[in-house]
Amino acid sequence: MLVVMKFGGSSVADLDKIRNVAERCIRKWKEGNRVVVVLSAMGKTTDRLLAQAGEISKMPSRREMDMLLATGEQVSVSLMAMTMIQMGVTAISLNAWQVPMYTNSTYQNAKLKRIDCERIRKELDSNKIVVVTGFQGVNKYDDITTLGRGGSDTTAVALAAALHADLCEIYTDVDGVYTADPRIVPNARKMPEVTYEEMLEFASLGAKVLHNRCVEMARRYNVKLVVKSSMCEAEGTVVKEKTKMEKMLISGVAGDKNIAKITVAGMKDDPESTFRLLNLLSSKGVNIDVMIQSLEKDGTKTLTFTVAKPDMIMIEELLKNEGEILGNVNIKCKEDVAKVSVVGAGVSSNPGVAAKMFEALSNAGINTNMVTTSEIRITAVIKEAELELAMRAVHDRFAAEWE
């Protein structure tokens, strides 16, 4: 079997943990498998590098950020390969341009476009364990790019797809995907299986246990994906096309603090003004999420939408600088907001789901700000300080029905 094994930052946070991971990979290799290992940066390295850059500038050059952030993964793969060699196994580390793994040029949020497998195959053929940097790629200018926070999961799935691996295992600090973040909701339950579709919603709505693009890619290339713990041997969660599990009303609750709310007031009440605003944002690669539009008493239009928190300052500057395009508008940004969502295939077919979610929020005294729904989710924007309370309240409301 060819197996891709990915370990996140907390699983390789120090040399003892690196030894533990090395042993685990070596065991798999000794069982006769071909093993490709994908690693994140050690512990909180990426956060530390981001903070350091933040001391220099509020908006550092995105190219230079990638040059900086990619160093974290290079440290962990080299230490891992050294550890394996010390344990008597043939291993080699490779970074993105050595593979090579090509991306587009959207620094800090690059998309993988193509992976050449020749080098990895050659190393596997000579019986080595191949240890590859997660989270990074190289673009057409030979610059290093990164795939966005949590992107090592996507590297692992992309390699599994390109190499036609039999299995992609994502090892982390929890033993599977739960009905809500088990660190916030203590009585969350582990799901033995989850569909790609539900996992994609979960990940997009803030359950950072998997990077959302990795789930998208796993579905597209039909990669067999398992989430499990690097600390114990528990079974984990299988992410697949269809599950045998009985359909619950919802499959879980997700929370996301990494959002900011932007309000653009005083817009002309015509279709063109909305188009101009959205066009401006999309030309800068900004993803907007929950959006509402309201008409004011004075006949102007207000557009409110959420974006990823790190993009807020850039968007505020952009909208202020492009005042001419938008007319005489008033821009307000708010950072202390969060999203709480219920996810599950049962959402659209059960009219009671929204009522139950809002009953739980109301009982907890939590007011909602913006609401959006899709076939398989309901999302409410609330105060950031109330997110954990909201997740517990909503989870408990539905958990009562799982008993």
Which positions from 2 through 21 interact with Mg ion, judged by CB under 5 A? 8
Out of 72, 137, 150, 344, the only residue in the binding site for ligand ADP (CB under 6 A) is 150
Please pick, from the candidates 9, 176, 255, 344, the single residue that binds ligand ASP as defined by CB under 6 A: 9
Sign of CA dihedral 99, 102, 108, 109: negative
Closest CB 222 distance from ligand ADP, rounded Å: 23
- Please identify, using beta-carbon distances, which residue of 8 and 137 lies nearer to Mg ion: 8
Alpha-carbon distance of 257 to 200, in angstroms, equals: 18
Range list of β-strands (E), 124-242: 129-133, 136-138, 144-146, 167-172, 193-195, 225-229, 237-240
Query: Between 151 and 255, whose beta carbon lies closer to ligand ASP?
Result: 151
Q: For residue 378, give the 3-state DSSP assignment.
A: strand
The answer to whether 150 contacts Mg ion (rule: CB under 5 A) is yes
Residue with tokens 């959002």, as numbered in its chain: 259
User: HSE on the CB side for 177, CA within 13 Å?
Assistant: 32
> CB under 5 to 8 A by kind: which of Mg ion, ligand ASP, ligand ADP, none does 149 bind?
ligand ASP
Q: Does 236 bind ligand ADP (CB under 6 A)?
A: no
Please give the single-letter amino acid code of residue 76.
S
The interface region with ligand ADP, picked from 20-28, 100-108, 175-183, 278-286 by CB under 6 A, is 175-183
Check if the beta carbon of residue 7 is closer than 8 Å to that of residue 230: yes
Q: What's the chain's Rg over C-alpha atoms?
A: 22
Could you check whether the bond before residue 271 is cis, i.e. omega within 30 degrees of 0?
no
> Is there a contact between 401 and 246 (Cβ–Cβ < 8 Å)?
no
What single DSSP character describes residue 186?
Answer: T
Q: Which of 25, 42, 161, 180 binds ligand ADP (CB under 6 A)?
A: 180
Measured from the CB atom, the residue of 119 and 208 that comes closer to ligand ADP is 208
- CA 224/CA 238 separation, integer angstroms: 8
Q: Which does 178 bind (CB under 5 to 8 A by kind): ligand ASP, ligand ADP, Mg ion, none?
A: ligand ADP
**Given candidates 11, 33, 46, 341, which one binds ligand ASP under the rule CB under 6 A?**
46
Question: Does residue 38 interact with ligand ADP by CB under 6 A?
Answer: no
Size, binding site for ligand ASP by CB under 6 A: 12
Q: Where does residue 53 rank: exposed (0-12), middle (13-18), buried (19+ CB within 10 A)?
A: middle
Count interface residues toward ligand ADP (CB under 6 A): 19
151 binds Mg ion (CB under 5 A): no
Question: Which of 135, 171, 305, 398: binder of ligand ASP (CB under 6 A)?
Answer: 135
What gap in Å lies between CA 382 and CA 120, rounded to an integer? 47
Q: Using CB under 6 A as the criterion, which residues of the chain lie in contact with ligand ADP when the complex forms?
A: 8-11, 40, 150, 172-174, 177-178, 180-183, 207-209, 252
Question: Binding residues for ligand ASP, per CB under 6 A?
Answer: 8-9, 40-41, 46, 72, 134-135, 149-152
